[in-house]
Amino acid sequence: MPVRTKANIRHFIWKLRLRSVNPLLLPSYFRVCYSHVEFKYRTFLVSLFSLTMANAPPPPPPAAIPTRHIKLTTVKGKHVDCIEAPFFGNCRDVEDFQKLNRVGEGTYGVVYRVKDSRTKQIVALKKIRMERETDGMPVSSLREISILKRMKHQNIVNVTDVAVGPRLESIFLVMEYCEQDLGSLLDMVTTPYTASEIKCLMLQLLRGLEYCHSHSIIHRDLKMSNLLLTSTGLLKIADFGLARTLSLPGKPMTPNVVTLWYRAPEVLFGDTNYTTAVDLWSAGCIMGELMQHKPLLPGNTEQAQLDLIVKLLGAPNETIWPGFNKLPSAKVLVMPKQSYSNIKEVFPRWSEQTLSLFAGLLTYNPKSRLNVKQALVHPYFQETPRAQDPSLLPTYPEVRNQLAERER
C-alpha cells in the first residue's frame, strides 16, 4: 500500500479540482467542503489512498485563483492528524451576498433574503443547522442539496448554488427568492380563495408532486408553510429536508415524519413501509385548508389528530383498509366510534367533483388513495370554473411588505 503523505492528499484534491467536482455534492458517504474534509467510512478512506498515485507530484496552484484550505480532522468521529492543502471548488463565498432580512426559520435552517453582489438579484440564503452535529454535515441537508440540485421544475424551488463561510458551520443553500408562503398568507389575509384560485394552486401543487414522484422522491413534509408563492403567482414546493428517495420494496422508512396536521394515517399508525401516497394525503389536507381558510386537522397530539380525522371521515376498519388491524399503533390509539363521513356537512357549498377529489386524496387505504397522475386528470380540473391563470392570482403586496418589515 502506498504511503499516505500530504502529497497524496494534495494530488487527490487537485484531481477533484481538475474535474470540476463540487465537493458538497459528492455522495453522502464522502463529504467535502471548503472548510473541512470528512470521509464517512474508514473503508472508503483506506481504498481511496490505495489508488496508484503515490509518486505523482501535486500540480502547482494557479496564481490567479485565490486559495482556501481544507482539513482532514476526523474519521467517524476519531481524531487523525490534521492535513492542510489548497483546494478550489465551485461553492460561492457567503460574503458575495448582502443580507437584507430574515424571512423564515424551519427545523433544518434559517432563511434570509439577500442580494447577490454578482448578479444584483434578490435570492434566498438558507443556513444549514450544524449546532447539534458532531460528525459532519447533517444527513437531512445532504439529502436536500442532492435532491434539489438535480430537480428542475417550475413548481419546485430552484437551488442555484451552495455558499460557504469561513467556519465549518457556515454552509448555505442559495435559492430563488419567493415573496411569501401560503401559510403566512392564510394567517394574514381574511379574504378566502375563490374556487378557481384554489384549483390553480392545487394544479400547481400536483404538477410539482408529479415531478417529484416520477423521480422516486417522497417529500414527506408537505404543508402550507412549505408552499411558496412568487409575485407572478407561481407555487413552489420547498423545504426538502425530510425528502428521500423511494426505498426498495420491504425496506423500512423513518416513522413519525410529516408535520402532525398533514400526517397520513398509515404514518400515524406506525407503518414504516409507506409510499408516495403520504404526499397525496398531505395535498388533501392542504386542499381542505384552502377551501375553509383555516387548518383542516389541527391536532396537537397523535390521539387528538386521530379524533379529528375520524370526525371528518369516519373510523377506519379492515373492510375499507385491509391490514389496518396489523399496524403497530392500531391497538395503541383509542379509536373513536363513528362509521360515517362528514365531508358533505363540513363543506356544503362545494361541487360534487371538488368533494370527489378531496375525498380521493383523503382515503384511509394508501393503496386506494388517488395517486398524483389520477388526481391531475380528475374531472374537478375540467369543470367550471376552470383554474385561474397563475399570473392573475392575488399576491397581496401589502402582506408581503408586512412580513418583510416584521422580519427586519
Give the DSSP letter string of 65-81.
S--EEEEEEEETTEE--
Are 64 and 80 part of one and the same domain? Answer: yes
Are 135 and 194 part of one and the same domain? Answer: no
Q: What does 115-168 look like in DSSP terms, one character per residue?
A: EETTT--EEEEEEEP-TT-SSSS-HHHHHHHHHHHT---TTBPPEEEEEE-SST
Helix (H) or strand (E) holding 8: helix 6-18
Positions of E strands within 200-300? 217-218, 227-229, 235-237, 244-245
Instruction: Assess contact for 124 and 115: CB atoms under 8 A.
Output: no
Examine the residue annotation and report whether 279 is marked as an active-site residue of this protein: no
Q: For cell 373492510, name the residue.
A: 319
Are 296 and 321 part of one and the same domain? Answer: yes
Q: Which CATH number is 101's domain given?
A: 3.30.200.20
Q: Which of 116, 221, 279, 307 is catalytic?
A: 221
Are 241 and 143 part of one and the same domain? Answer: no
Q: Does residue 398 form part of some domain?
A: no
**Structurally, how many domains does the chain consist of?**
3
Mean pLDDT calculated for residue range 324-339: 90
Q: Tell me 36's DSSP state.
A: E
Are 98 and 51 part of one and the same domain? Answer: no
- C-alpha 366 chain-centroid distance: 21
More confident residue, 37 or 106: 106
Helix (H) or strand (E) holding 323: none
**Which of 212, 271, 268 lies closest to 244, judged by CA?**
212
Mean pLDDT calculated for residue range 62-67: 42
Residue 244 pLDDT > 50: yes
Q: Does residue 397 form part of some domain?
A: no
For residue 254, which amino acid is it?
T
Q: Which CATH number is 258's domain given?
A: 1.10.510.10
**Which of 14, 170, 124 lies closest to 404, judged by CA?**
124
Report pLDDT for 279: 98
Report the DSSP pairing between strands 97-106 and 227-229.
unpaired
More confident residue, 136 or 143: 143
Are 213 and 308 part of one and the same domain? Answer: yes
Q: Does residue 207 form part of some domain?
A: yes
Are 216 and 365 part of one and the same domain? Answer: yes
Confidence of residue 134 (pLDDT cuts 50, 70, 90): low
Most trustworthy range by pLDDT among 5-9, 71-75, 125-129, 174-178:
174-178
Instruction: Assess contact for 218 and 276: CB atoms under 8 A.
Output: yes
Measure the CA–CA gap between 242 and 45, rounded to whole angstroms. Answer: 28
Are 82 and 98 part of one and the same domain? Answer: no
- C-alpha 35 chain-centroid distance: 25
Confidence of residue 360 (pLDDT cuts 50, 70, 90): very high
Report pLDDT for 30: 43
Q: For cell 447533517, name the residue.
A: 138
More confident residue, 132 or 28: 132
Mean pLDDT calculated for residue range 363-375: 98
Residue 59 pLDDT > 70: no
For residue 230, which amino acid is it?
T
Q: Does residue 49 form part of some domain?
A: yes
**Final residue of a structural domain among 146, 176, 206:** 176
Residue 126 marked as a ligand binder: yes
Q: Tell me 28's DSSP state.
A: T
Confidence of residue 401 (pLDDT cuts 50, 70, 90): low
Beta bridge partners of residue 236, listed in sequence order: 228
What pTM value is reported for the model?
A: 0.75
Host domain of residue 141: 93-176
Range of lowest pLDDT (94-103, 223-232, 293-302, 371-380)? 94-103
**Which of 278, 363, 255, 360 lies closest to 314, judged by CA?**
363
